[in-house]
Structure 1
Amino acid sequence: MPEATSGSISEAAAGTVLIAGAGPAGLVLALELSRRGVPHRLVEAADAPFPGSKGKGLQPRTQEVFDDLGVIEAIHAKGSPYPPMTTWENGEPGPDWEMMTRGEPTPNTPYAEPWLLPQSRTQEVLRDRLRELGGRVEFGVRLKEFEQDEGGVTAELTGPSGTSERVRASYLVAADGGRSTVRAALGTPFTGETVDPTPMLTADMEMEGLPRTHWHTWNSHPGGVVAMCPLPHSNLFQTYVRFEAGDPDPAPEAVRRLVAERTGLQPGKVHWASAFRTRAAMAERFREGRVFLTGDAAHIHSPAGGQGLNTSIQDAYNLGWKLAAVIQRDAPDALLDSYEAERLPVAAGVLGLSTRIHRGGTTGPLSGHRGPDNHQLGLGYRESPLSVERREGLEERALRAGDRAPDAPCKDARTGETRRLFDVFRGTHFTLLGVGDVELPVVGGALATSVKAYRVGGPTPDLLDPEGYAARAYGERGFFLIRPDGYVGVASGDLADVLGYWGVGG
């Protein structure tokens, strides 16, 4: 980090974004800006990367995001499917049972189940990808204070050696967690409730001799439940301990004694531990002028259901392309207003889902069932000002503007090679699909860098649909403009509706 005195201001390039916090949301936002060439700084108050497993479940929709970001192979290589559950009684494991609904990939949904990966490794993969794109995390750099005006944000940063630097940026994004410094400085109300007053402890610890084929639970100890999930490619288990009385002590020796007492096993080294009480809360606004709240700075969840990290990643995925459109292409400021309009209702719904799962379990958050709603594939933006649906008489289950754009296996009309719709969506552009017997214009001028057009089926196709999967997902005929974040912006039978969208959507 460049040194500066507290009285100087580092000149930033026009359109710079300052991101406070290098957790999942901050890293994804930095990736989105990096691959679009938007200048930014990603600062993290901690001196080193987060070491624990914490948010370990990556939902199918998040895996689709990671596919687009070019990290899905690394994510899958470092993780594993979730194991089945078993409950111990009288020193013996019982029969298998499932906490979650499992599924099989389909042509429209290539990722059908949550993927098990410790948060520290997810962040490692994202940091590696960020470095590939020329970005980096500035560790040990704390956002001390800031002020905004009509032209941008001026912030004071404190570096590892205690030196101060005042920086100027066009926008500030808070990705600095549930105790967000930025949110507190804005005075944005953060309202919620205590989901469960019972204290809990989570730890990553070694457990020799415990089978790694299962997620193990001990439910009968009067002090509270213990659950241990094997973390892939390691000898560690993520351990949850519920306290029906007393308060957790996260000191390693205290954790080891507690787990030994409740399970009858002999734990090994404790690598990371943290105590908490489960709360759910959400900011009343996600935007204040040139400052945006994202991830845990905007909403905090019960860990039940594995929604918090995933919702945070998708916040950043939603915001990144919009910031780039405003900074690089002079898109209207209303596009940035759509971030709150779209993500606040989603966060509120997900918050309710997490709370219901937590309270629905017979032994707290460890036993509530996780169904398809947890996969986040059905979340969308039908009510968004960016969603333009012009077709009439649709069936109830038909794809609509604002929905997630489905995948489908197609064939390249020239080469005959398999080409999935997710392959043509991947990247920073909008995608215009003309499905069936339609004609598409040649996209030229300024739009040529931001829109790619494909005819699917019909008399002069770019993509063949031999099995009919695209037609079943999108309909036999129509125009669909797919946003850079993989949602349908426009659905219409008239190309003019698509061409008129650019005054609204980018």
Structure 2
Amino acid sequence: MRMKPQTEVLIIGAGPTGLVLALWLQHQGINVHIVDQAHAPADKSRAIVVHARIIELYQQLGIAEDLLALGYQLPATNLWVHGQHRAQIAFQSFGRELTSYPCVLSVPQDEHEKMLERHLNRVGVHVQRGTKLQGFVDHGSSITATLFHEGDESSNTHEASFIVGCDGAHSAVRHAIGAKYEGETYKPLFYIADIEGKGGMVFNGEANLMITNKSFNLIVPYNTEGHARLVGITRLNNDDNPDIDSPDHDNKINFEDVRPQIMEALQIDIEKVNWFSTYRSHHRIADKFRSGRAFLVGDAAHIHSPVGGQGMNTGIMDSINLAWKLATVLKKTQMSDEAKHRLLESYEFERRAFALAILKSTDTGFTSLTSQGIRGYILRNWLIPLLIPLAVRFEFVRKQIFRGASQLICNYRGSSLCQPSTGVVQSGDRLPWVQISKEDNFSTLRDLCWQLHVYGDPGPRIDQWAQKAGVKLFTFPWNVRYAEAGLIQDAIYLLRPDQYIAGIFEGLSVESKLDEYFLARGLC
């Protein structure tokens, strides 16, 4: 007979995905242990963009304001083609009717991680550093992991109910479960730099995407004072260079090598380069996100081109999706094994589908920006400069751009957790955000729990059902603004702990329909 595991969830990797997973699990009363191979937190980072959907979800644990205070809200992105300004995408106006955070937040990943870790430390959880996973055995009812501690070169075993790989592209957990990591490495060599400079046209507190015939450069400011992140691809690698794919070739490139192409894209005055590095980007996705009691999250499961700043945000949403499901399985001892299995299986169904969609869109975007053929030339020189300024004149297009970029568009339609529905807003969708006067319907979502929303009159028996079932009920007086957002008057909206709609119930016998929903999924 096996002993009770010493940890409920063992987390491998303390990047943003691992730290978020630990915070969300601990908040739900789950005992976690988190380890990381690095001996200290990172002091440099590639990721810098945090999107609106992540900030919304950070409200649940009361850390959204801390992140906002740490970062800088980008008001807009400018498009430049051969040094000519062609369009401006104004995030604050594009998303102001969609979320209380109509922005793109610029915050370096290392600062983001430190903030998350401070919150984790405050609740008594500390990252065990200098520790890597050597392997694990899945016993069916628990796992036994072997951890190697680099400080004293010792190993020990650690018992846990579940193990989650948040350990990046070279994930030891992914290798252990035998998941394939299908995809390719992009040929262009990326560079990334932390710069300081001046120039009112570029160092103006807004992001700037600069396109030329053969490359692109992206400047993302940290503030309005000329401190920014510069990302691009080099034009130094070509088919005539036999050493293009060698690490030695990559490491020999410095900022002065790429400065001429930056100046060609746009005349800017770069006064200081704080650090500079090059890297290869990949687009890959694991063929499975789960095997038994092991799960993959973030870069361990999928990795994307940097176009759109989607990678880290997608990984964080993986963690929040998985956290409430693991917590439910661990806390609801009365659930059948089959019900637990189905709930945990929904993680892969929901998150792998979305990761595939993000991978395809970022790959298309990157390929379009970097293709050296005639199609790429036409796209960069004619279609992008002409179509984008025209498209952003239309409100519908502006909203779709913001929904897609901010990940508000993410939905789980077709999941086993969705009660079938039709209409503009359906089961599996993010609940539409609606603000009336100074109040909005997301204020109730700070609670990480199942809840009911009714826009209008809930009827006399719903309150009794909610009290009996232990599900919070919130009612909102009907307003035409709710109809404009796609919500139905007097309908019952069942919301999951991660703020997505599980079911929309109308008509007679709503209470029995709700009972059937929970009973069919073993959640009652």
TM-score normalised to structure 2 length: 0.80
| Distance in 2 (alpha carbons) for counterparts of 1:283 and 1:110 | 34
- List per-residue Cα deviations over 1:179-208 (Å, max 9, x = no partner): 1111112211111134x3111122324446
**Superposed displacement of residue 114, structure 1:** 2.2
Verify: 1:271 aligned to 2:314, yes or no.
Answer: no
The letter of the residue matching 1:132 is R
| Distance in 2 (alpha carbons) for counterparts of 1:186 and 1:27 | 22
Correspondence for 2:419: 388
Q: 1:381 to 1:219 in 2, by over 3 A?
A: closer
Correspondence for 2:266: none
1:214-293 equivalent positions in 2, closer than 5 A: 214-215=206-207, 225-232=216-223, 236-246=227-237, 247=244, 254-263=253-262, 268-271=272-275, 273-276=277-280, 278-293=281-296
**Superposed displacement of residue 155, structure 1:** 0.7
The letter of the residue matching 2:161 is S
Correspondence for 2:23: 31
**Superposed displacement of residue 88, structure 1:** 9.1
Contact 2:189/2:278 (<8 A) preserved? no
Q: 1:255 to 1:10 in 2, by over 3 A?
A: farther
After the TM superposition, which of the residue ranges 434-443 and 211-220 deviates more from structure 2? 211-220
Q: 1:338 to 1:400 in 2, by over 3 A?
A: same
**Superposed displacement of residue 342, structure 1:** 1.0
Correspondence for 1:401: 427
| Distance in 2 (alpha carbons) for counterparts of 1:378 and 1:218 | 26
**Superposed displacement of residue 299, structure 1:** 0.5
| Distance in 1 (alpha carbons) for counterparts of 2:291 and 2:348 | 10
From 425, 441, 445, give the equivalent of 2:463: 441
The letter of the residue matching 2:163 is L
| Distance in 2 (alpha carbons) for counterparts of 1:32 and 1:106 | 28
Question: Can you give the 5+ residue segments of structure 2 that lack an aligned partner in the other structure?
Answer: 238-243, 264-268, 389-399
- List per-residue Cα deviations over 1:432-486 (Å, max 9, x = no partner): 12343323133678843xx2112x2xxxxxx434565378542112211100000
Identity of aligned residues (%): 28
Verify: 1:425 aligned to 2:445, yes or no.
Answer: yes
| Distance in 1 (alpha carbons) for counterparts of 2:209 and 2:413 | 40
The letter of the residue matching 1:371 is I
Verify: 1:163 aligned to 2:154, yes or no.
Answer: yes
Question: Can you give the 5+ residue segments of structure 1 that lack an aligned partner in the other structure?
Answer: 1-8, 412-417, 457-462
Partner-residue secondary structure (3-state), 1:296: helix
**Superposed displacement of residue 99, structure 1:** 6.1
| Distance in 2 (alpha carbons) for counterparts of 1:470 and 1:131 | 43
Correspondence for 2:108: 118
**Superposed displacement of residue 165, structure 1:** 1.9
The letter of the residue matching 1:426 is R
Verify: 1:48 aligned to 2:40, yes or no.
Answer: yes
- List per-residue Cα deviations over 1:212-231 (Å, max 9, x = no partner): 31445665597x55443322
From 486, 494, 508, give the equivalent of 1:481: 494
Aligned-residue Cα RMSD (Å) equals: 3.2
TM-score normalised to structure 1 length: 0.83
- List per-residue Cα deviations over 1:400-442 (Å, max 9, x = no partner): 111111233469xxxxxx6532111212211112343323133
Correspondence for 1:79: 71
Partner-residue secondary structure (3-state), 2:187: strand
The letter of the residue matching 1:75 is L
After the TM superposition, which of the residue ranges 401-410 and 15-24 deviates more from structure 2? 401-410
- List per-residue Cα deviations over 1:63-88 (Å, max 9, x = no partner): 21122232211222222233543659
Q: 1:477 to 1:188 in 2, by over 3 A?
A: same
Aligned length: 470
Correspondence for 1:349: 357
Q: 1:329 to 1:212 in 2, by over 3 A?
A: same
Partner-residue secondary structure (3-state), 1:169: strand
**Structure number with higher helix proportion:** 2
| Distance in 1 (alpha carbons) for counterparts of 2:409 and 2:210 | 34
Partner-residue secondary structure (3-state), 2:366: helix
Partner-residue secondary structure (3-state), 1:377: coil
After the TM superposition, which of the residue ranges 107-116 and 21-30 deviates more from structure 2? 107-116
Contact 2:456/2:477 (<8 A) preserved? no
**Superposed displacement of residue 341, structure 1:** 1.4
